[in-house]
Amino acid sequence: MSQSVLIKECEQKLAYNFDDTTLLLQALTHSSGADTPADSNERLEFLGDSVLGYVICELLFKKFPERDEGDLTKIKSAVVSRETCLKIAQSLDLQDFIRIGRGVGRNSSIPPSILANAVEAIIAALYLDGGIKIARRFILHHFAPEVMKMADSISCDNHKSMLQDMTQREYGVHPDYVILDEKGPDHGKCFKIAVRVKGRYFPAAWGNTKKSAEQHAAENAISSFQDEPIPYDCGD
């Protein structure tokens, strides 16, 4: 496709029109397809990595005031990763826009590392063209869902591990997680889960995934053990 068409279609995918389209073109140019090293996206990738890290750290700091540094670092490391960038590159169909040299790959066969790095380069291009507000909007739109998934996963592991330590110490058994109910369509089910320890059921909790429901149920059980108000009340 022509350069002007490539830019226009990519802008539509990014939901942003560049004032300086040369920035977008550079962000899409792998070193193998660049006339000179300065024309490739490597420098933009360097900057984009830092902008992405800053925005994600800011989001974590504001969104999870109760989490300690260890949890925040785990979430950030999982989200600001090649795997997440690759997932976002694929969702944006960046393989249709990346400019590479002959022999490197074509379309869907473009190496995953090139696609992932292009996302960071695009973030830098958005930052340079529109400022941190535009870069933040793009990052939050595409990365925030991954942040929430990872936050749920890490929290789930922590609370479940804590509860297992408690029940093992007090009763010599591991807790069971029992699905009591579920609702919603197949692509968006919610689950109601309760912790069971030696036949005793603790207050159940809902979650939009089994992992998150187990997390909430574990928190309820821990609160019950400690004679504190449960954080997730089903209203039963």
Residue 2 DSSP one-character state: -
Q: Which one is catalytic: 49, 146, 152, 219?
A: 49
Least Cα distance to 207 among 177, 227, 229 occurs for: 177
Residues 6+ apart with CB under 8 A from 8: none
User: Please, how many CA atoms are within 13 Å of residue 89, restricted to the half-sphere of its CB?
Assistant: 29
Q: Which one is catalytic: 120, 129, 152, 219?
A: 120
Instruction: Based on the residue annotation, tell me whether 214 is a catalytic residue of this protein.
Output: no
Instruction: Based on the residue annotation, tell me whether 49 is a catalytic residue of this protein.
Output: yes
Task: Say if residues 114 and 42 touch (Cβ distance below 8 Å).
Answer: no
Element (H, E) at 180: strand 176-183
Catalytic residues: 49, 120
